[in-house]
Amino acid sequence: MTHDPLIALRPWEAPEVTSWGRLPMNAVDRRSGSLPQDGDWRFQLLSRPDAPVGGSWSPAPVPGVWTMQGTDDLPQYLNVRMPFTEFPPLPPAENPTGVYEREVDVPADWAGRRIVLQVGAAESVLLVHVDGRPVGISKDSHLAAEFDLTGLVAPGSSSTLRLTVVKWSDASHIEDQDQWWHGGITRSVLLYATDPLHLADVTVRAAYSGELRVDCRVREAGGALPEGWYVSGDLDGLPLTQDAEFDRLNAEDERVSDFLGEARMRTVVPDVRTWNAETPELYGLTVRLHRADGTVADTSYHRIGFRDVEIVGRDLLVNGERVYIRGVNRHDFHPLTGRTVSYDDMRADLVLLKRFGFNAIRTAHYPNDPGLYDLADELGFYVVDEADIESHDHAHEIADDPRYLNAFVDRVSRMVLRDKNHPSVIIWSLGNESDYGANHDAAAGWVRRHDPTRPVQYEGAAKLGWADPGVASDIACPMYAPLEDCVAHALSGEQTKPLIQCEYSHAMGNSNGTLADHWAAIESTPGLQGGFIWEFWDHGILQRVSDGRPVGRGGAGLYDNGVAAPGYRWAYGGDFGERLHDGAFIADGVVFPDRTPKPVMYEHREIAAPVRIETYRHEGIVLGNHQHFRGLDWLSGTWELSLADGRVLTAPAELPDLRPGQTAAVPLPFALPVDGGEAWLTLRITTARDEAWAPAGTVVCLPQVRLREAVPGGSVDPANRFSSAPVEVDFSSAPVQVDFSSAPVQVDADGLLVHPLLTAAPALSLWRAPTDNDELGGMALRWRSWGLDALVRKVVDVRRDGDRVTVLAEYAAEVGVVRHVQVFTPVEGGVRIEESAELPDALADVARVGSVFETVPGLDLMEWYGPGPWESYPDRSGGAPVGHHSVPVDDLFTPYLRPQESGGRHGVRHFRLSAPDATGLTVALDEPRQVSVTRYRAADLSAVAHHDQLVPRPGCVVHIDAAHRGLGTASCGPDTFPSYLVAPGVHRWSWALRVL
Ligand code: GAL
Ligand code: MG
């Protein structure tokens, strides 16, 4: 039995107790002038919170999570299910509890001052003791907790600070977000001192009109109303002064001895530079609290932006403009530290997002590190700030449970109190996946009263009906809604709220199919305003393969380009020996765990292009400015004309002076050569000068238009067109035996092409290593049940007709036989292969129909004409401009965490694979085809769970697909559209293989 009152209270199983002894949240930034307490603390891990402290101490860095710092309590990944079976509000009895201790030297010149401890974030219950005395309790794992230590510590001497962090609690049930479970102190700890009478909060309202209002709340514990004290402000040199006496907020109550008062400052800034995500103009506001003699007692610095947010009709307007929300969901994540992120990390995240056309962030699913909002203000992002409430596994029980009422209002209100002065924050979110109940309405009510300047959203409430007038959501913010439902709603005449999906286009593995289709619909359907892709990060934790341990902070340099160094890997659910886990569902971001962009990022960059080629008309190229606020003067352009025959012409582009929404025709910069075949014009848009997020010369977008189609019939290689008669072969007569030894086309007795550069002859492929979407969407299961992963080729007939060899093979799937015909004809330097495959109707919706072959080693460079250089698929191909591309074969493969179909290139017209001595092969295709060249067979990829288990083959595995299924997003959300599916029936394709 413990005598410690904080322990005796058992706050880890009392949802009503959200805090004890904790100071109110506020927006005064105390980071500067504070005494940082980051660094090594003494640490021990108890098996339960009421276990005695007394074991041995070892050093642990703060901030940090012990689950990544060498303890036996390792990270665990679960999506919805709680990691323990206890019902809310109970945690399990076995409950890892970290005890952190250190001596703090309190400066002597803090005598007479108010001394405050700030713990940036601790999960999930924090107990604070100083010199063995209880100080306070806090829950709410992603917001800071402050405690007044005045009187508990002595200036000029040292005190022992103990922070006890209990991992599981009643609060865990409302922190059931889809991410790794950790335990520890994830954000910085600091001490600061103020005058006893201090700025307790500052609330800034800065409107688009230039009107500025600053409300300053001051407080003194046990003090009296001071004579002559006042506040002043300074807005980048423009002085502000208090416009009336302090309003004594508690003046009515004789019993209250504290002074709590409010003073206001107002001004109107002439010719104000307003804030928006494109031109995030900030002003520096310094607020000072003065003593009667004018000396400064307290200061608070804010970077503020003048802007309005409102909903008018069904449109969300920023400064009167219906802005598109090109958003992403972002967790605080790092592959070495788990959840502790540095300012530089966050800056790198946001810079990358900016470079790829994103303008919005949802802080999924809790208030992010404070630095994130500073950066969003500075770099220009619209932020949906989300409270730390997700009760996914027990959503229904908790939404109306009065024991959790405090926690809901506490978490939402503390977020608003902290972040209200950030211009980037345009919407408050009440949390995620917690059903919908009275606790939400209570929180929404608090926000509406406290901050009427921003809309509130909550997906759980919006789910009731996108036009439902209920109080908890001003935005229709569904997740993964089918596009057709969104469009139908916008066209229904019933829409009352902006439709902005809080999550869409699930980025798990090789995914984000139909993103461009979504945006085509959004930009052409009034009422649709965008959404937030799920999600930014693949949360892979860097793990040593030998002992299965997280590497932790020392791992910098052990990864590159999305791939962990040999001996290491990106761990996902189950890799730490978790009994319960949700596997690779944690790897669903648009960037790899080291922030390397996945190919979808290039697709997004083009979708978000600020300048676009609208059309090509006889008077020239029509350009449009697709921004909301900015002209084109910050951009430079270069024209690039790419001809199928390999020629590329370039010329500088004069960008017209266009206001947002305007278009103008500019003359064609080149006389289009009469020859050369298909011609594509690309406008390479780069930053003209340094932006906060990109140096001058950074690519912003690559809009493209086709100026001329391929020669009639569509091919650059007329020799390679299908003979006008389709391949219809009558195999009813007896096969003819031919001696191929002298023939220019050599086919062995099995009808397989014999070729000096091929180690495996072209065969039919109907299978791809299932993507996460294929697996979780159920397609892979169906394909396996049809036997498509292990089809056996049976040669039925081989015959020669002059120099033409025809091979018929059959592949018996469970639901019918696929007939495959190959006709080989010699052409100059090689062989032309005409193929057809007939899929029975039962084989509807297969992964691909095409040829697969393998080459000898050494052909390590791939050059092609078609979209590139990035990976592209039929429903994710818009971000790759058509041109001549050259990429080492090893770099064509995208190392998705769980190996799967990868490295495809859509719309390839022809390609060559060569060795350094320029020997090799070329393939000319009858029409643009999906091609992939990698070191892996589909079976190699689907046999392993991690990238490090793959053994590259020395040669190339080449797929040429007549049809390839779109990627869709079915791992969580809609599948691809029917137009991207592979239909049954007859598929025909042809190609010419030549030796270089
Ligand atoms: C949503 C949820 C996210 C994540 C995502 C799937 O339902 O809000 O937290 O779980 O699905 O990756
Ligand atoms: Mg969830």
Q: pLDDT, tens digit, for every residue of 478-514?
A: 999 999 999 999 999 999 999 999 999 999 999 999 9
What pLDDT is attached to residue 721?
A: 40
Evaluate: CB of 432 within 6 angstroms of ligand 1: yes
- Tell me, in angstroms, the distance from the centre of ligand 1 to residue 650's CA: 45
Evaluate: CB of 386 within 6 angstroms of ligand 1: no
What is the C-alpha separation between 534 and 480, in angstroms, rounded? 9
Burial status of residue 263 (CB atoms within 10 A of its CB: 0-12, 13-18, 19 or more): buried
What pLDDT is attached to residue 831?
A: 95
What pLDDT is attached to residue 669?
A: 87
Candidates 350, 282, 277; CA nearest to 319 is: 277
Q: Are 585 and 508 in contact (CB under 8 A)?
A: yes
- Tell me, in angstroms, the distance from the centre of ligand 2 to residue 432's CA: 7
Evaluate: CB of 507 within 6 angstroms of ligand 1: no
Evaluate: CB of 877 within 6 angstroms of ligand 1: no
Using pLDDT thresholds of 50, 70 and 90, give the confidence band for residue 471: confident
- Tell me, in angstroms, the distance from the centre of ligand 1 to residue 616's CA: 42
Using pLDDT thresholds of 50, 70 and 90, give the confidence band for residue 736: very low
Evaluate: CB of 29 within 6 angstroms of ligand 1: no
The amino acid occupying position 869 is P
Evaluate: CB of 532 within 6 angstroms of ligand 1: no
Evaluate: CB of 835 within 6 angstroms of ligand 1: no
Q: What are phi and psi of 556, to 5 degrees?
A: -60, 135
What is the C-alpha separation between 924 and 955, in angstroms, rounded? 20
- Mean pLDDT (the chain) is 94
795: pLDDT strictly greater than 50: yes
Q: Are strands 179-181 and 559-560 parallel, antiparallel or unpaired?
A: unpaired
What is the C-alpha separation between 41 and 759, in angstroms, rounded? 60
Query: Can you tell me which residue has the tokens 């009152």?
Result: 5
Q: What are phi and psi of 819, to 5 degrees?
A: -95, 135
- Tell me, in angstroms, the distance from the centre of ligand 1 to residue 242's CA: 47
Determine how many CB atoms are found less than 10 A away from the CB of residue 198: 21
442: pLDDT strictly greater than 80: yes
For residues 491-522, b (16+ Cβ closer than 10 Å) or e, as one string?
Answer: eeeebebbbbbbbbbbbbbbbbbbbbbbbebb
Q: Are 534 and 972 in contact (CB under 8 A)?
A: yes
Candidates 456, 463, 526, 455; CA nearest to 495 is: 526
243: pLDDT strictly greater than 90: no
- Could you read off the pLDDT of 944-984 as tens digits, one per residue? 999 999 999 999 999 999 999 999 999 999 999 999 999 99
Candidates 668, 699, 68, 130; CA nearest to 336 is: 68
- Tell me, in angstroms, the distance from the centre of ligand 2 to residue 935's CA: 37
**Arithmetic mean of pLDDT, 364-387:** 98
Using pLDDT thresholds of 50, 70 and 90, give the confidence band for residue 729: very low
Evaluate: CB of 79 within 6 angstroms of ligand 1: yes
Poorest-pLDDT segment among 132-141, 295-304, 731-740, 747-756: 731-740
What is the C-alpha separation between 438 and 401, in angstroms, rounded? 8
Q: Are 462 and 421 in contact (CB under 8 A)?
A: no
Instruction: Report which bound ligand comes closest to the CA of 511.
Output: 1
Evaluate: CB of 537 within 6 angstroms of ligand 1: no
Question: If you take atom 4 of ligand 1, which residue's CA is the nearest one?
Answer: 178
Evaluate: CB of 503 within 6 angstroms of ligand 1: yes
What pLDDT is attached to residue 32?
A: 86
Q: Which two tokens stand for residue 358?
A: 């994103």
Q: Are strands 125-130 and 133-138 parallel, antiparallel or unpaired?
A: antiparallel
For residues 784-799, b (16+ Cβ closer than 10 Å) or e, as one string?
Answer: eebbbbebebebebbb
Evaluate: CB of 178 within 6 angstroms of ligand 1: yes
The amino acid occupying position 67 is T
Distances (CA, A) of 185 to 103, 145, 333: 17, 11, 14
Instruction: Please report the atom of ligand 1 found closest to the CA of residue 502.
Output: 8
H or E, element range at 656: none
Using pLDDT thresholds of 50, 70 and 90, give the confidence band for residue 246: confident
Instruction: Please report the atom of ligand 1 found closest to the CA of residue 508.
Output: 12
Using pLDDT thresholds of 50, 70 and 90, give the confidence band for residue 740: very low
Using pLDDT thresholds of 50, 70 and 90, give the confidence band for residue 711: low
Candidates 413, 453, 412, 452; CA nearest to 434 is: 412
- Tell me, in angstroms, the distance from the centre of ligand 1 to residue 698's CA: 33
Instruction: Report which bound ligand comes closest to the CA of 582.
Output: 1
Residue to substitute in 180, 433, 969 for testing ligand 1 pocket (most ligand atoms within 8 angstroms of CB)? 433
Task: Name the β-bridge partners of 569.
Answer: 543
* 3-state per-residue secondary structure call for 211-228: EEEEEEEEEECCCCCCCC
- Tell me, in angstroms, the distance from the centre of ligand 1 to residue 19's CA: 29
Evaluate: CB of 594 within 6 angstroms of ligand 1: no
- Tell me, in angstroms, the distance from the centre of ligand 1 to residue 871's CA: 26
Q: Are 556 and 335 in contact (CB under 8 A)?
A: no
Task: Name the β-bridge partners of 184.
Answer: 65, 123
Evaluate: CB of 587 within 6 angstroms of ligand 1: no
Q: What are the E-state strand segments in 894-966?
A: 904-914, 920-934, 957-964
Evaluate: CB of 797 within 6 angstroms of ligand 1: no
All residues with CB under 5 Å from ion ligand 2 = 178, 392, 433
Evaluate: CB of 435 within 6 angstroms of ligand 1: no
Distances (CA, A) of 995 to 432, 721, 915: 58, 19, 12
**Arithmetic mean of pLDDT, 728-734:** 45
Torsion of CA 302, 303, 308, 311, to 10 degrees: -80
Q: Which two tokens stand for residue 426?
A: 């345009």
What is the C-alpha separation between 660 and 640, in angstroms, rounded? 25
Evaluate: CB of 990 within 6 angstroms of ligand 1: no
What is the C-alpha separation between 131 and 754, in angstroms, rounded? 83
DSSP letter at 92? P
Radius of gyration of the CA atoms of the chain, in A? 32
Q: Are 202 and 139 in contact (CB under 8 A)?
A: no
- Tell me, in angstroms, the distance from the centre of ligand 2 to residue 460's CA: 11
Residue to substitute in 534, 586, 773 for testing ligand 1 pocket (most ligand atoms within 8 angstroms of CB)? 534
Instruction: Please report the atom of ligand 1 found closest to the CA of residue 364.
Output: 9
- Tell me, in angstroms, the distance from the centre of ligand 1 to residue 121's CA: 23
Domains and CATH numbers, the chain: 5-194 (2.60.120.260), 209-304 (2.60.40.10), 309-535 (3.20.20.80), 540-586 (no CATH), 610-702 (2.60.40.10), 757-779+843-995 (2.70.98.10)
Candidates 778, 770, 812, 811; CA nearest to 938 is: 770
Question: If you take atom 3 of ligand 1, which residue's CA is the nearest one?
Answer: 178
First-to-final CA distance of the chain: 83
For the entire predicted model, the pTM comes to 0.96
What pLDDT is attached to residue 251?
A: 60
Evaluate: CB of 410 within 6 angstroms of ligand 1: no
Instruction: Please report the atom of ligand 1 found closest to the CA of residue 179.
Output: 9
